[in-house]
Amino acid sequence: MERVTGIGGIFFKSKDPKALGAWYSEHLGIALEEWGGHPFRWGDDSPTGTTVWSPFSAETKYFEPSTAPFMINYRVRDLHAMLAQLRAAGVQVDDKVDESEEMGRFGWAMDPDGNRFELWQPPAGM
């Protein structure tokens, strides 16, 4: 059975993501990168993984068809096996899969409450 191996990211909507990011940077030390998120690296000297924290525009369509103001990204070992497992269980799974050497593989599905979630098979070293 395929299982989630961790939280790959926490994404949420904001009326002003840049201003909110600046607030978090000033008050909690979470500095946003140019692409709009902050990667938390696991481990001390040699990171063993990453969890991304990222505010999105309130108008983003990235979380659709969910109407929730957030989306959680779950890390998995084998994206295609996980998607097949979910489809076999009758879960609503997006047909689209994004694959890149740099960022890894991404797929999406919906939970019973209508929340879209993202599945991420990171490349080696992330």
Tell me the pairing of strands 49-57 and 4-14. parallel
Say yes or no to pLDDT of 34 above 90. no
Query: pLDDT tens digits, residue range 90-110?
Result: 999 999 999 988 889 999 999
Whether 60 is in a domain gets the answer: yes
Q: Are 119 and 82 in contact (CB under 8 A)?
A: yes
Number of domains into which the chain is organized: 1
- Give the per-residue pLDDT at 113: 87
Q: What is the pLDDT of residues 49-68, one digit of tens each?
A: 788 899 999 999 999 999 99
Distance CA 119, CA 102 (A): 16
Task: Flag whether 126 is in a domain.
Answer: no
CATH of the domain at 88: 3.10.180.10
Residue 74 inside a domain? The answer is yes
Determine the pLDDT at residue 32. 83
Q: Is residue 64 part of a domain?
A: yes
The answer as to whether 33 is a domain residue is yes
Helix (H, G, I), strand (E, B) or coil at 23: helix
Q: Which domain holds residue 116?
A: 4-121
Judge whether 90 lies within some domain.
Answer: yes
Q: Is residue 8 in a domain? A: yes
Which residue(s) pair with 118 in the sheet? 73, 108
Average pLDDT over residues 13-26: 88
Specify whether the CB–CB gap between 92 and 109 falls below 8 A. Answer: yes
- Structural element, H or E, at residue 79: helix 79-88
